[in-house]
Amino acid sequence: MAFGTARGKIHYAQGTVTTAQAIAGALIVPGRAGKRMQIVGGHLTAAGAAAGATSVDIKDTASDPIVAVACAVAGLTDGTQLDFDAGTNVARTTYRKPLTAGKGLQVKTTGEALTTTTAVDYYIEYVVAT
């Protein structure tokens, strides 16, 4: 997992989560007290064609998490980058909108267990607001 700041106040996180981590929910950005994160860009890439789950999502870490971006498994084919701004296979539920204050970001699946892929690479651009 890597963190950094690029282009001023836009931050980024990139790395890889295993299928098991995505099913359980993998923390990719820790929360900041009193701050709200907002996804402003990014993409996911699966190692192997994803199946089983409905989607692989970027959510906050609240007990009832808010989904920022949901990437349908149909768009997560082996080695193909699925950009959050893609017209198909991406639901931008609260994309570019503030998430829960004080909570971090996670990669987590929705629906059945994710299968036929060994890992998911992520690159997330976000801003931190009050």
CATH number of the domain that 26 lies in?
2.60.120
Task: For residue range 67-89, list pLDDT tens digits in order.
Answer: 999 999 999 999 999 999 998 99
Structural domain of residue 21, as residue ranges?
2-129
Phi, psi (deg, nearest 5) at residue 23: -65, -45
Task: For residue range 21-69, list pLDDT tens digits in order.
Answer: 999 999 999 999 999 999 999 999 999 999 999 999 999 999 999 999 9
Q: What is the pTM of this model?
A: 0.90
Query: What total of structural domains would you count in the chain?
Result: 1
User: Which of 34, 35, 14, 36 minimizes the C-alpha distance to 107?
Assistant: 14
